[in-house]
Structure 1
Amino acid sequence: MTLLVLGASSQIGRFLLPRLCEAGHDVLALSRRSQPAQSGVRWIEGGLPDAMPRDLPALSGIVSYGPLLPFAQWLAQAPLRGSPRIVATSSMSAQTKRDSVVAAEREIARLLHEGEQTLADACSARGLAWMVLRPTIVYGAGLDRSLTPIARRAARLHLFPLPAGRGLRQPVHADDIAMASIAALDPAAASGGILPIGGGERLTAAQMFARVRDSLAVATVPLPVPGVALHLAARLAPKLRGPLARLDEDLVADNTALVRLLGVQPRPFRPDAGCWGLAR
């Protein structure tokens, strides 16, 4: 049967599709942008729900890396054949941004929680096995909006700000999330839960930024940013208040259930320039 992948051109999808094709799966992939032809993959261009054909083939599984709530709403009424296993990604932001000082971040957390609950309800009503993965900071394909912009700006300016930060971080490679998705699609895998997934190493925010700098193929001048400068930046730039306020908070995931249920051991944080879409 066929696997349906939504958000197939996302940073996680870019690692998932080759693994599925190598394993011999037929893949129906949805992307908002036109994609190059790929053996074993049939692309659908557009977004939910308009682009999805009404005559879907029998599906063994559905993987969604796009916005969770629209996917859950579509799934609740989608004309499915068979009983596909459902794997979707949420975000640890559902937890870490719940009490943010920034209203827009609190709304992100609320929507993530709503998406998780709507998906659980839809799967329960239809008798579908499901799993939601909650990743921490995702990296690896140069498409993330957290570490990649920092790395690219530093490579361009040859200057790397290093903010003080004692809070623990646990960046997770997109390929490890792809492997967890494949494990969750196994009919023998557990279902009906939300699994945190973080990288295989915890380090302080300051150490994380230093590792990003070390990964670059060009020399950069380190620019330590003291706490007083961060406090001033938070006052002058409201959009930065949330991230800067969390520099001393631990933003980590407990991988115990991930290892026990899916057998996935994420890699430690050892990035190279290719992780940011830069020349190695």
Structure 2
Amino acid sequence: MTVLVFGGSSQIGHYLLPLLAARDEPVVALSRSARAPDGGVTWLSGYLPGAVPAMQDVSAVFSFGPLQPFAEWLDRANLPHAPRIIATSSMSAQTKRTSAVPAEREISRQLRDGEQALAAACAKHGSDWTILRPTLIYGAGLDKSLTPIARRAMRTRVFPLPAGPGLRQPVHAQDLAYAALAALDTPAAAGRIFAIGGGERLPASDMFARVRRSLPVDTLPLPLPAWLLRLARHGVGRLRGPLSRLEADLIADNTEVTTLLGIHPRPFQPDAECWQAPA
């Protein structure tokens, strides 16, 4: 039997694949471009929802990409052994549900629709499923939130520090890999959606300050006061959502992840390696 991983080259996949390779079952990861076998992992070329090589002897499937294409593939895939399904969504499914920005409400709706589509496809196969809803992810230098900020600051030697009272709970990608593996091994996790954030909640302004302190180069701090952010929010339409979120709490309740999966995410203490892409 084989474990199939969609998103093996993602930040969560970067940490999960070695964990899976250390187990007894063969591991196959899907990539848009051909890759040589690496560390006990076989790579296949393909993409969702269409061009995926046929595989029947599958015991588990992990997905760390968009939910809807994965659910579409899953709905019509030939999976006779009812594999266990582990997928990631996002806490945006909840935190953006009542956003004042229509585009953000639409993101929330698409995420929740994808979760429902995945559950329906799993029911068709008789497969148990678990969905993880992470907060802001960091740690492998592959995220599109904190890493671009860190790299731009290293390049320009200037680090903007926006005022932001809203709480943040960044979660390390390796902790998500541990949670995904624990969900695979925990029967009680079947049919559940788990919110998961880091082990610490801190104001957004403190989060950015810690990123700056973690950089391997000196940068000039550029404070952005609240009045300036409010002015930009009202004057520049595309900034309305991101700047409004600085005042909102984007956090998760880790109670179920801790009690059912035994996962205790680390506090937010980034270092320079968090912003370097894997070799």
Q: State the alpha-carbon separation in 1 of the partners of residues 190 and 58 from structure 2.
A: 17
Q: State the alpha-carbon separation in 2 of the partners of residues 3 and 223 from structure 1.
A: 47
Aligned-residue identity in percent? 60
Q: State the alpha-carbon separation in 2 of the partners of residues 90 and 238 from structure 1.
A: 27
Q: TM-score, normalised by structure 1?
A: 0.95
Q: Is the 8 A contact 2:86 2:131 kept in 1?
A: yes
- Which secondary structure does the structure 2 equivalent of 1:12 belong to? helix
Q: Which residue of the partner structure matches residue 21 of structure 1?
A: 21
CA 1:181 to 1:46, structure 2 compared with 1: closer, same or farther past 3 Å?
same
Q: Which residue of the partner structure matches residue 256 of structure 1?
A: 255
Which one-letter code corresponds to 1:176 in the other structure? D
Q: Which residue of the partner structure matches residue 48 of structure 2?
A: 48
Q: Which residue of the partner structure matches residue 139 of structure 1?
A: 138
Q: Is the 8 A contact 1:12 1:174 kept in 2?
A: yes
- State the 1:50 CA deviation: 2.7
Unaligned runs of 5+ in 1: none
Q: Is the 8 A contact 1:12 1:175 kept in 2?
A: yes
- Which secondary structure does the structure 1 equivalent of 2:100 belong to? coil
- State the 1:189 CA deviation: 4.2
RMSD over aligned CA atoms reads: 1.6
1:273 aligns with 2:272: yes
Q: TM-score, normalised by structure 2?
A: 0.95
Q: Residues 33-59 of structure 1, C-alpha deviation per residue, up to 9 Å, x if partnerless?
A: 3434303211112211332123x1411
Q: Is the 8 A contact 1:198 1:266 kept in 2?
A: yes
1:99 aligns with 2:98: yes
Q: Is the 8 A contact 1:25 1:40 kept in 2?
A: no
Q: State the alpha-carbon separation in 1 of the partners of residues 9 and 277 from structure 2.
A: 18
Q: In terms of mean alpha carbon deviation, does 45-54 or 64-73 score higher?
A: 45-54
Q: In terms of mean alpha carbon deviation, does 61-70 or 180-189 score higher?
A: 180-189
Q: State the alpha-carbon separation in 1 of the partners of residues 184 and 235 from structure 2.
A: 46
Unaligned runs of 5+ in 2: none
Runs of 4+ in 1 over 4 A off after TM superposition: none
CA 1:176 to 1:49, structure 2 compared with 1: closer, same or farther past 3 Å?
same
Total equivalences in the alignment: 278
Q: Is the 8 A contact 1:183 1:189 kept in 2?
A: no
Q: Is the 8 A contact 1:152 1:278 kept in 2?
A: no
Q: Which residue of the partner structure matches residue 84 of structure 2?
A: 85
Which one-letter code corresponds to 1:5 in the other structure? V
Q: Which residue of the partner structure matches residue 2 of structure 2?
A: 2
Q: State the alpha-carbon separation in 2 of the partners of residues 12 and 71 from structure 1.
A: 16
Which one-letter code corresponds to 2:11 in the other structure? Q
- State the 1:31 CA deviation: 1.6
Q: State the alpha-carbon separation in 2 of the partners of residues 162 and 33 from structure 1.
A: 38
Q: State the alpha-carbon separation in 2 of the partners of residues 150 and 202 from structure 1.
A: 20
- Which secondary structure does the structure 2 equivalent of 1:48 belong to? coil
- State the 1:19 CA deviation: 1.3
- State the 1:232 CA deviation: 2.3
Q: Map 1:103-182 to 2 at 5 A.
A: 103-182=102-181
Q: State the alpha-carbon separation in 2 of the partners of residues 64 and 82 from structure 1.
A: 18
